[in-house]
Structure 1
Amino acid sequence: MSSETEVAQGVELARPKVSLCIPAFQAGRFLRATIDSVLAQDFSDMEIVVVDNNSTDETRLILDEITDSRVRVITNRTTLPAEDNHNLAVKLSRGEFVKVISADDTLRRNCVAAQAAVLESNPDIALVASRTDFIDDAGALLFAARGLRGILGRQTGEQVIRRIVRSAKNPVGAPVSVMFRRADFDRCGGFRGPSLFTLDMDLWTRLLRIGHFYGMPETLAAYRIQGGSLTASISARTQLAQQDSLTRRIVDDPYWRVPHVDRLVGKINRYDVLLKRTVLFKLSSLRAFRQRLRLGWRWHTN
């Protein structure tokens, strides 16, 4: 693929096809694994933009050790709200296509190439997503090939929106499973807070007003279920309130014309979904605790 060029301070710079954006905060525990998976991609026409949100752990030390020329590191002087740090990472990117990756998630080697190919060959697709493995703190598999239930293949925005309402969750997936066009991101206003739990879903709904969706049957990424993550720290009641708020905005929007039956099914599903999500995070925390106990026992016996 040929790259466009842009001029910066009188110097012509090659514009990459894809930008991989990693907003990082207190990410030292898993950041190395995330960056290793990104650098291992079998797609060459890309850049990696990491924005350290004023971390105080080993995040900065890990980033200082990276010598790969594809990686650009920006360090915030103050800690920004999560949505602002996400937006900054994308704003500083130069690629035509963008993928936002949480600093504890990982990609399979062919992820970027496969998703970029979909966007390149389908100009009417605004959002492409793959299935995702769920892993725990230790990297062990919790659940394989999750997401995209009922929305595999080419889908209209309306079809995906109806699935969001009916399922009472995020069937598209987390940012690590998604790729979109930078121009569409700018056009729809980027990430919008303050609801952290629905930060990505809110963006997906606005991108779906611009173009169609494509759900890939392949599993191309891994989403880490962390007991101590920002998402896990949000109580089940708060998650429910934020999901309800997003759903109300969707069903009140005449653009989507969501049928009443979808709204009813969503109300039935909402509590079951949050119960399962709470159990999932607790399971990951329990596994991590047992892992620490085993490591402590081995250290003591040695």
Structure 2
Amino acid sequence: MAQLIKLQDYVSRYAQDIYLYPSRFVRLKKKQWEGIKEKWENGPVQPKEINGYGQPEELSSTIFQKIKSIVRQSDTPQSELKEISPISLEDDQDTMIDDHELEMMNKIQTIEGLKQHFLNQLLPFQLKWASSTLTEKSFIGKEFANDPTLKFLLQRFPDTFLILYKPIFLLKKAPVEAEFIMITPGAAICISFIEEEENAVFVGSKDRFWIKKTKNKQTKILNPLTALNRTEKIVKTLFDMHGVELPVQKLLLSRNGFIDYPLAPYGVQLIEKRNYDEWFSALRGTKSPLKHMQLKAAQILLQYCQTTSIRRLEWESSPRQGDQN
């Protein structure tokens, strides 16, 4: 399952420590899956037996209360919080699957069904990490819980793929919304989706508008390469500024339609129904672990992303509105 490191302009735990959270997510996911699978195979899954750390909830709660007391008394800066305890404080009580869903898993009949249910229930956990930290939170839109594009990007690719979902970059004090960015161990892939009616044909050109043809009509749509080119330019510029040596690729994707563009510009990969399976299998089959340059690339992009959040009520009596990073 790929990792959601940035969701639009929401606060993200990955932005605090990109070298910690990706590997932690992989460990937590593996540990919880192995525990749930074993319980499912050997008997009913019991709530409270499996949490994000393999620790009792009472211990996590005690640690959280103790740390909160220390911070309030000493005004410890957020940058120093991780030095107080070997357990990352942002995750003090995080569990990947809640008690109700653990009970639901007992009714699943096949291992494949268990895997899919497990992946589905990881989405709220990912959204939590992509919209809150120990001291800050963002108000996340309800639509993301059932966003099919987000589910595709997260559920169909390896744990070592890092996803920025339409991040908003703050460049020269001006916000710029980008397309999807997938950072793999080998490349940063800028992705635009062009998916509407089933079997629609998109006729490409260098003009401002493309033609979309369906069974009974023909309409104009904005040239999808405009936003894709803008995203690629931002990523390349930031990488060049900070010495990130990672290839930047452009991908226009239509899983349910066709792209007709015989003289497509150099440097953009067109993936549609006729070549989707081959492309997907090759990318999904990537076995490379997380790489240092990949994490550096993610760190640089996150550094330039806009963040809108408020102070969590647990940490002060009145929230501070409109924090901007």
For normalisation by structure 1, the TM-score amounts to 0.31
Greater RCO, CA 8 A, separation 6+: 2
Q: Give 1 or 2 for the bigger CA radius of gyration.
A: 2
Normalized per residue, the structure richer in strand is 1
